[in-house]
Amino acid sequence: MKKKRNVKEKLIESAIELFSKRWYDTVSVAEICRNAELSNGVFYNYFKNKQELFEFLLKDLLDVFEKEFYQFYGNTVEEKLKSFFNIVFEAAIKYKPLVTIFREGQYRFPKYEKKLRNIYIDILEKIFDRKINEVDYIYIIGGLRFLGIMSSYGWINLEEKNFYDMIFNGIFEEKVKENLFNLNIRDCEELEKTTKQVLIEAGIELFSKKGFHKVKIFEITNYVNLAVGTFYIYFSSKEEFLREIVKQISRKTRFFISRNIPEHLNRLEKEIVGIYLFLEFFSKNRNYYEIIREAEFVVKDEVKKYYEDFKKGYLENLENIKNDNKEMTAMFLMGISHYTGIEYLFENTIKNKEDFLMKLSEYLSRGILK
């Protein structure tokens, strides 16, 4: 006999369905209740507001992860890690809606990202029987989380054997041979201040301050003293406008990195300099990160293309690597950059990026068990 859901369970299930498909700001208490086929007043018997319910979901996922992640087993470090990795990959698929919600929550309510980070570090310290440093955390967990999420989205075919190989044996055949960070960094070239570009720059500024859904088209045009009709000369909708912004962020990021990497470096050295430049670029453009995160829930196909364009760049330039699965290797490296960006830009756990990156280069060359 099917168990009858109580009122609180209905509210939670409704919230998971809505928050996993749309951005926090676009979901209302009334909509959560309507989707659960309940009256609005019932909501406040269980939660004081939408934020409390959203944070309840974040905490619930952490409670589930804390219970399941510690179920790893094995006699050696390698066996324990493989067991742990399998649990994480399975959880990314099993709890996909909550994981999707957490991707927004880690930015909106950073304390939950800190708690998840602490769970990961505690588990790794139990497995390795030693203190875990920032390089350990990023190299092992960055690729693990990114590949798990992208696999759950169906954006990559995850092959666990290749993941183990990268973790345990490293990626690149080369080593870093010289000081990499004495660079003459050139900024992106300024785009011509056409009316279209003026609107895009206004959108970037306003979206990063208020969020996509809270900004009206007339606010964008008023911000740069243009008529609303001017917007529709270039864009059919606010969603199309956001697509163009995502495209521009992608192009500018990739251009900035590619134009500043010295050609004479070996492939590992280029990877390290590339992450350094990635951090430099987003240090100056922190608002781009928030826009890309929100865009995942508004123009998901464009954000997928954003990641696909980065992956394509990797696939065209990956050489002297140990693993023959270039797609997995590209996504693993993207995961390292992504979570390095989070820790450096938002969590402030990486105090000296040059020192961090030099230590990271050792793992990229030899893996974690050598």
Residue 92 Cα distances to 88, 96, 109, angstroms:
6, 5, 20
Phi-psi map region of 60: left, alpha, beta (phi>0 left; psi -120 to 50 alpha): alpha
Note the pTM of the prediction, 2 decimals: 0.88
Per-residue pLDDT at 5: 67
Residues in the chain predicted with pLDDT less than 70, given as ranges, are 1-5
The separation between CA 230 and the C-alpha centre of its own chain, rounded to angstroms, equals 34
The tokens for 52 are: 């409390």
Contacts of 132 by beta carbon, 8 Å cutoff, 6+ apart:
121, 124, 125
Contacts of 26 by beta carbon, 8 Å cutoff, 6+ apart:
213, 297
Neighbours of 111 (CB within 10 A): 11
Cα angle, residue 332 at apex, residues 327 and 335 outer, rounded to 5°: 125
Rg of the chain (C-alpha set): 22
First to last CA, the chain: 54
Contact 88, 148 (CB under 8 A): yes
Contacts of 334 by beta carbon, 8 Å cutoff, 6+ apart:
146, 307, 310, 311, 314
The tokens for 47 are: 């939660």
Neighbours of 305 (CB within 10 A): 16
Per-residue pLDDT at 3: 46
Per-residue pLDDT at 340: 95
Return phi, psi of residue 349, to 5°.
-90, -15
Domains detected in the chain: 7-132 (1.10.357.10), 195-365 (1.10.357.10)
